[in-house]
């Protein structure tokens, strides 16, 4: 699907003519919005990679709630690939979110959970069928603000033909870009990490996102999450790369409402 050439435009004209194309969907967590310049854009693949327990799913759930406020009258598509959808946790987060925003009638009266459309897939064929068949049909009748895949790595764990796997990555991302061009929604995927040893020293272990370079070259912006030694609940978020997100980091915790900005939390407690 090729875009029609609209003639040359200035930067300011593009922003006003195609506001939906360049909008960003807020995480609802100040630290993540600061790191990304306002949230997730409606173009490209945004990735949250991190250790187990670093809060990837928690951040995705919070995004699924706040995206409905950023983009009114929209739904969120949430594709689970490695665990059952955490419905009970989402209900807890929704209740806490409404409590925090109790002065806002639009938030208090909105049923967020009913606007999160969940699909479970367990292998590459079912993921492809979801993204190439069911998702396009849904988009013809339903406005969505964000597509979340949690996680992108899980369906490919057993894949050993790396050439075929790389072709599948390209096919998936190309199709998602086509759908973004037509329907203007953000895409957020979570990714696992694996430990690698520095070949030069043989003792410098570090965690890197799964799926290798074939996948990394297709990612628009990557944040890497990790637990810290500061306390049992402190997490660190680092911008690995992104065209509009300079390398920097911030800290967050997880509470009843989901991910919270550590700095904002300390201010509220003082």
Percent of the chain with pLDDT over 90: 69
In a domain, 259, yes or no: yes
Is the pLDDT score of 80 beyond 90?
yes
Spatial contact of 177 and 35, defined as CB atoms under 8 Å apart: no
Quickly state the pLDDT bin for 159 (edges 50, 70, 90): confident
Does some domain include residue 72?
yes
Nearest to 215 by CA among 159, 153, 138: 153
Model confidence at 263, in pLDDT bands (50, 70, 90)? confident
- This prediction has a pTM of 0.89
Mean pLDDT, the chain, as a whole number? 88
Please check whether residue 124 lies inside any domain of the structure.
Answer: yes
pLDDT in tens, 38-55: 999 999 999 999 998 899
Q: Tell me if 16 is assigned to some domain.
A: no
Does residue 17 lie in a domain region? no
Would you say residue 221 lies in a domain?
yes
CA 189 vs CA 3, 240, 241, 247: distances in Å: 25, 15, 15, 20
Please state whether the peptide bond connecting residue 151 to the residue before it is cis, i.e. omega within 30 degrees of 0.
yes
**CATH code (residue 94):** 3.40.50.300
Interval 173-184: pLDDT, tens: 999 999 999 999
What is the share, in percent, of the chain residues with pLDDT greater than 70?
A: 90
**CA 162/CA 98 separation, integer angstroms:** 45
Strands 249-255 and 116-120: unpaired
12, part of any domain = no
What Å distances lie between residue 154 and 8, 53, 134, 269, 270, CA to CA? Answer: 42, 16, 20, 39, 42
Instruction: Convert the pLDDT of each residue in 106-143 to its tens digit.
Output: 888 899 999 999 999 999 999 999 999 999 999 999 99
CA distances from 18 to 9, 13, 15, 23, 141 (A): 11, 8, 6, 9, 21
In a domain, 248, yes or no: yes
CB 148 within 8 A of CB 64: yes
pLDDT at 227 (0 to 100): 87
Q: Which domain range does residue 151 map to?
A: 23-269
Report the domain count for the chain.
1
Given a cut of 50, is residue 1 above it in pLDDT?
no
């Amino acid at each position: 699907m090729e875009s029609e050439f609209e003639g040359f435009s200035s930067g300011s004209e593009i922003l006003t003519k195609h506001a939906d194309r360049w909008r960003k969907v807020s995480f609802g967590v100040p630290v993540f919005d600061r790191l990304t310049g306002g949230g997730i854009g409606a173009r490209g693949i945004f990735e949250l990679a991190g250790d187990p327990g670093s809060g990837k799913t928690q951040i995705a759930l919070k995004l699924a709630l706040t995206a409905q406020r950023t983009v009114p009258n929209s739904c969120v598509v949430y594709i689970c690939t490695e665990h059952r959808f955490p419905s009970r946790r989402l209900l807890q987060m929704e209740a806490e979110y409404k409590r925090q925003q109790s002065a806002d009638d639009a938030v208090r009266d909105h049923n967020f959970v009913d606007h999160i459309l969940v699909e479970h897939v367990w292998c590459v064929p079912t993921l492809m069928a979801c993204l190439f068949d069911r998702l396009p049909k849904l988009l013809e009748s339903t406005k969505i603000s964000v597509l979340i895949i949690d996680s992108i790595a899980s369906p490919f764990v057993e894949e050993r033909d790396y050439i075929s796997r790389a072709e599948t990555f390209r096919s998936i991302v190309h199709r998602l870009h086509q759908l973004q061009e037509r329907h203007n929604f953000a895409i957020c995927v979570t990714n696992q990490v694996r430990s690698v040893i520095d070949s030069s020293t043989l003792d410098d272990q570090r965690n890197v996102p799964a799926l290798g370079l074939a996948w990394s070259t297709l990612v628009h912006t990557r944040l890497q999450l990790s637990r810290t030694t500061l306390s049992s609940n402190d997490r660190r978020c680092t911008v690995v790369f992104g065209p509009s997100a300079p390398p920097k980091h911030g800290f967050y915790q997880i509470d009843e409402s989901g991910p919270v900005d550590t700095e904002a939390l300390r201010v509220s407690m003082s």
